[in-house]
Amino acid sequence: MPTIDLHRHLEGSIRPSTALALARKHQHWLAADSRPLHRLVAPVRTAGLLDYLERIDVACSTARAVEDWSLIAQQAVQDCFDEGLDYAEIRFSPWFIHTQTGLDPAEVIDAITDAARDASALLNLPVAFIGIIVRDLGPDTAMRQMNTILSRSGRFCGVDLAGDEAGYPPALFTPAFARAHDAGLRVTAHAGEAAGPDSVRAALQALRPDRIGHGVRAAEDPRLMEQLADAGITLEVALTSNVQTRAAASLREHPIKRLLQAGVPVSLNTDNPTPSATGVAAEFRRAATEVGLSEAQLQLIVRDSAAAAFTEAGRQLARTRSAADN
Ligand SMILES: [Zn+2]
């Protein structure tokens, strides 16, 4: 079966050793911290999404030069290869990186996507990028954030809405996402992670997404699950991260089982390999051994993941696979 990651944040993929080396290079406080790994890797359970995201803030703030982001992108693609991935969609927010480092968002996009393209060609591993609009920067800046991404639209396969889900509802971002649709980019949005089913429903209405980031709390509402199943909207689930952020009570009680039973298309992803200390293979292992999914359910997840890819290279994997099955 092909191994795919559709929901993987670049800012959450910075190797701890790289963050520490960059901290030394830029005299960042992390270099003097007595337990730097604890600042970068989250515990099994945090206080919630914003607490979990603090690790990503720290890692990002160590990368203060544009060439640091070239290195981070190169290593992120290398790590996908080493992990055995056949295809990855990596997402990042140029404006979040700007707020953490002061770097120019457009220059950051060029550095990341150029370095990733070179690594991807060298390793023959197809990689695509999703540009993130950060909720926390407010609806007033959302259009500016979107304009930066659209000024480099050929470098992205889609856009995403991320950050403080509970504090910033999707309807605030409708105009910006309408522009992404007009530009022909695919759309996903974080919802149903730090807020409940209403947040997923609002995202569907306000942003018209093809996929939902996490969306696991949709399992609290049978009618919403039916709506997701009917519309064929794939949820980008990340088991380890969902427990860490308290979107799910535990692996054993993870709502993925209810979602699958309701016929909602589900993909399994890492979210943030560094703070979650995980990879796609580890997520599938946990799905089998700790969540208790069957072999047939895992195979369905792989097929649904490939079919929900935002690029032809990703969907090709689904077709190759189903041809091999027949
Ligand atoms: Zn995410």
- Catalytic site includes residue 220: no
- Å from CA of 243 to ligand 1 middle: 13
Residue 24 amino acid letter = R
Across residues 300-317, what is the average pLDDT?
94
Identify whether the C-beta of residue 40 lies closer than 8 Å to the C-beta of residue 274: yes
- Å from CA of 245 to ligand 1 middle: 11
- Å from CA of 241 to ligand 1 middle: 9
Domains in the chain: boundaries: 4-325
At 318, is the pLDDT very low, low, confident or very high (cuts 50, 70, 90)? confident
Which residue is catalytic, options 11, 193, 236, 283? 193
Query: What is the model's pLDDT at position 159?
Result: 98
CA angle (314 as vertex; 311, 315 as ends), nearest 5: 85
* Exposed / middle / buried, residue 53 (Cβ in 10 Å: 0-12, 13-18, 19+): buried
- Å from CA of 94 to ligand 1 middle: 15
What is the β-pairing status of strands 127-134 and 211-214? unpaired
CA torsion angle 150 109 215 264 (round to 10): 70
Identify whether the C-beta of residue 58 lies closer than 8 Å to the C-beta of residue 52: no
- Indicate the fold that domain 4-325 takes in CATH: TIM Barrel (3.20.20)
Closest by CA position to 138, among listed 101, 163, 112: 163
Q: Across the strands, what pairs with 134?
A: 162
**CB-proximal residues (5 Å) to ion ligand 1:** 271
Query: What is the model's pLDDT at position 319?
Result: 79
Q: Across the strands, what pairs with 160?
A: 132
- Å from CA of 9 to ligand 1 middle: 6
- The pTM score is 0.97
Residues in the chain: 326
Query: What is the model's pLDDT at position 1?
Result: 83
Mean pLDDT, all residues of the chain = 96
Closest by CA position to 208, among listed 228, 178, 172: 178
Query: What is the model's pLDDT at position 320?
Result: 79
